[in-house]
Structure 1
């Protein structure tokens, strides 16, 4: 099943806007952290990536554990920048980077949506700003997460996945 192309500049409709409003609410955040992240991997497999729990498209990242060397899978929201996939390591605005970020920095070879990629962190400030602005078009809640992390001094990493 090929990875669905997610254009960050695409015009989105009212149902998307309603879904984003719910996703940014406290109940929506609770739902995303405790329900959707567990059910979305099954929906991805069952429907070939055509159905998600919410309006935002996501797919499974399969990486190698930074410390354990074990295979790890995490369902993540993404968008495309040309043929590259962009991942935002927001971790819901928590104080610490998500585990998958550390996995990709140690072991950059990965699979995303069953396709092989190599990950690199975006470090150029202009490129970072451009990609974060695109990410906010895909999910405006990233701005909420950036606000939360700025209080702790954490900058949300952006990872670029380049097809192998």
Structure 2
């Protein structure tokens, strides 16, 4: 099954907004970090990506470990910018980049949602600002993460995945 297209410009209804509010809550954040990260990959495999725990669509990113060289899998929220997939390395607003960030920097060839891609970190300030605004349309919680990381001085990286 091909990766579901996530249009950041699409208007989302009240049910979606309710799910986002829950996702930004203390309980929602706990569930995302400790429960959904384990159940979402299983749901993705069992349903071919048709079912998610919440309103936000996610898919598995498969990378090569930066140090180990081993296969690593992480379930991530995404959206599309044309044919490219966009990933936000927010790490729930932690003061360190997520491990998959280091993996993509070391080995940009990856698989996402069962499709092959090449990753590129967004370094152009205008493009970065544009993509982060789109990310906030998909999940408003990215603004929360940005506020948290500002305290530690960490900029949240953005990657575009270009189909191979």
TM-score (norm 1): 0.99
Q: Give how far 1:37 is off.
A: 0.8
Q: CA shift at 1:14, angstroms?
A: 1.0
Corresponding residue of 1:50: 50
Q: How does 1:16-35 map to 2 (within 5 A)?
A: 16-35=16-35
**For residue 80 of structure 2, what is the aligned residue in structure 1?**
80
- What residue is the counterpart of 2:149 in the other structure? 149
The 2-side partners of 1:44 and 1:37 are apart by 11
Flag structure 2 segments of 5+ consecutive residues without an equivalent: none
Give distance in 2, aligned partners of 1:17 and 1:123.
Answer: 30
* Unpaired segments ≥5 residues, structure 1: none
Offset at 1:29? 0.2
User: Given the alignment of the two structures, is residue 102 of structure 1 paired with residue 102 of structure 2, yes or no?
Assistant: yes
Number of the residue aligned with 2:139 = 139
SS of corresponding position for 1:66: coil
Q: How many residue pairs were aligned?
A: 164
The equivalent of 2:121 in structure 1 is 121
Q: Where do 1:50-69 residues align within 5 Å?
A: 50-69=50-69
Q: Indicate the RMSD between aligned Cα atoms, in angstroms.
A: 0.4
